[in-house]
């Protein structure tokens, strides 16, 4: 194969070296896809991509979803050339944010689990990176499930959870959404708390994000205590790997078996990322 796979040594992730993702023949792509299923996050350094290149690369893995709803209207509309591209940025130009999610911490989550068919993968490309902060961490939810204490596992076996659609991972209310005052009535989508990866058959914890999560039919106080315990377990550093970005980095990660989060960074510095999301199916 014309590339090398260098595992991070942590619970997830590998760097792929020696590859320009703009030039992938079918055999190379097939080997890359296998490496992605094995390591769950792949890192490619030093890429030089237009939005068309990004969409073409992401589109090799499957059909693309459109960008998710942001907190304000037309975020980034003026900056991107493709509707499949979602801009993540704190930069404000002429009084308008060019992207979503600002510079605050983005909490642990898996992308767009508040829809019935969440994207199976996300692809994130860095155009501008702050001098410090803004690192992105990934946590292996297959490992988190495998190491879940038996008493916690017994309480989620066969259960379904509602994944609230109202707030972004930085806690902003999405455009058109109402504040959630009762988790049992939050909008969103319902998915099994333990899902099975449709390609590898490996089960994992599928919690979406902590805010307004509800294990369906559970008493609210019990729900809050159980979710706190599950999320505390998932945040254990032994399940995770943290990526420190450089300009030109490209990541692709598997939303079916990973959570991710982003560190805050100095709002006075610039961070500009372009993301695509690859369609998935109903979690089972
Ligand atoms: C995200 O896709 O949740 C954002 C990750 C990041 O900004 O690094």
| Averages of pLDDT over each 10 residues, the chain, 284 residues | 94 97 96 98 98 97 83 59 91 91 96 95 98 98 98 98 95 91 96 98 98 98 98 98 98 98 98 96 96
The set of protein residues with a Cβ atom below 6 angstroms from ligand 1 is 88, 101, 106, 122, 124, 136, 169, 260, 262, 273, 275
- Tell me if 21 sits within 8 A of 249, measured CB to CB: no
- Tell me if 93 sits within 8 A of 270, measured CB to CB: no
Query: How far is residue 83's CA from residue 227's CA, in Å, rounded to a whole number?
Result: 35
User: Quick one: fold of 4-140+242-278?
Assistant: Double-stranded beta-helix (3.60.130)
Report which ligand 1 atom has the smallest distance to the Cα of 135. Answer: 8
Distance from Cα 122 to the centre of ligand 1, integer Å: 9
Indicate where the chain has its CATH 3.60.130.10 domain(s): 4-140+242-278
Report which ligand 1 atom has the smallest distance to the Cα of 109. Answer: 3
Ligand 1, atom 7: nearest CA belongs to which residue? 262
Token pair belonging to 175: 């455009």
């Amino acid at each position: 194969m014309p590339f090398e796979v260098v595992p991070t040594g942590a619970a997830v992730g590998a760097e792929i070296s020696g590859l320009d993702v703009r030039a992938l023949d079918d055999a190379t792509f097939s080997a890359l896809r296998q490496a992605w299923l094995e390591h769950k996050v792949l890192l490619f350094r030093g890429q030089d991509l237009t939005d068309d290149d990004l969409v073409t690369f992401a589109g090799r893995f499957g059909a693309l979803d459109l960008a998710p709803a942001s907190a304000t209207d037309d975020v980034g509309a003026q900056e991107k050339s493709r509707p499949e591209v979602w801009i993540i940025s704190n930069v404000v130009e002429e009084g308008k944010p060019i992207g979503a999610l600002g510079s605050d911490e983005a909490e642990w989550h898996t992308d767009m689990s508040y829809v019935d068919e969440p994207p199976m993968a996300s692809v994130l490309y860095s155009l501008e990176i702050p001098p410090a902060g803004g690192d992105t961490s990934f946590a292996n939810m297959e490992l988190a499930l495998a190491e879940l204490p038996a008493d916690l596992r017994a309480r989620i076996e066969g259960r379904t959870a509602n994944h609230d659609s109202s707030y972004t991972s930085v806690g902003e209310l999405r455009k058109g959404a109402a504040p959630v005052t009762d988790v049992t009535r939050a909008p969103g989508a319902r998915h099994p708390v333990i899902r099975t990866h449709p390609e590898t058959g490996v089960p994992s914890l599928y919690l979406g994000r902590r805010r307004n999560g509800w294990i369906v039919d559970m008493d609210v106080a019990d729900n809050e205590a159980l979710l706190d315990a599950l999320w505390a377990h998932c945040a254990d550093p032994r399940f995770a790997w943290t990526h420190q970005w450089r300009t030109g980095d490209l990541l692709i990660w598997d939303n079916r078996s990973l959570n991710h989060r982003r560190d805050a960074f100095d709002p006075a510095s610039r961070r500009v990322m372009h993301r695509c999301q690859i369609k998935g199916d109903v979690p089972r």
